[in-house]
Amino acid sequence: MSQTSSANNPKHIAIIMDGNGRWAKARNRPRTLGHRAGAAAVRNVVEFCIAHSISVLTLFAFSSENWQRPSDEVSALMRLFLKMLESEVDELARQGVQLRFIGERSKFSTEIQAKMLRAENLNLTAKKMTLVLAASYGGRWDIVQAAKKLAAEVAAGKCDIDSIDENSFSAALSVADLPAPDLFIRTGGEQRISNFLLWQLAYTELWFTETLWPDVDATIMQQALDFFTGRERRFGLISEQLAGDSR
């Protein structure tokens, strides 16, 4: 397995963890077993990112559309989420991981909301990595809530409408204080971003794999890093400009 220099690695990786249900179906097991296997894959990926000096990892844990899934599956996911908040967050803090949540958390039970807040307050300094869990999250929701926030500031006379630009809009979005994702990964074979970080992914490198999420390991993650380091990120410029040649 090849290794990439940490200097060349992305600072922020965003992942859609797809394939838990199909992983379980292939084994003639209930979908809930796939979600539990997916939770184990999260631990492996967090350890990989810490080892490779990835400063931010954002995982799409539960989308705003996922509330429309069968009620028994949603209930099982909520129980798994609650169990993770009870059993995993202290270990994450011990590893130097700061946990943050983005999304419409008011839709969760008061118990889950309280444990989310506790988890966020566990490790606020001396962190090796920030783990962002997008839960009850949608990219369109993120953009709309940012627009509402700016509209309220204009209505209150705190800012002028003509002063709103890309920078001020970005500052109103979720995790505005973190760098935009450098690398986006989607497992499970689908090739779409599914309402995930729509604004933030504008110049992100996109990598898709057929591997189902529970089967993701260090080898798969290294393949993604190798893809990333092989890309030329121009951000609208041309190669000669990046090399300092304006001819």
Q: Kindly list the catalytic residues.
A: 18, 66
Answer yes or no: are the C-beta atoms of 165 and 143 closer than 8 Å.
no
- Determine the 3-state secondary structure of 24 from DSSP: helix
Q: 174 with 148: CB under 8 angstroms? A: no
Q: Is the dihedral of CA 181, 184, 185, 191 positive or negative?
A: positive
In terms of phi and psi (left: phi > 0; alpha: psi -120 to 50; beta: otherwise), the region of 61 is alpha
Contact, 240 vs 246, CB < 8 A?
yes
Spell out the residues 6+ positions from residue 39 whose beta carbon is closer than 8 angstroms to its own.
80, 84
What backbone torsions phi and psi does residue 244 show, to the nearest 5 degrees?
85, 15
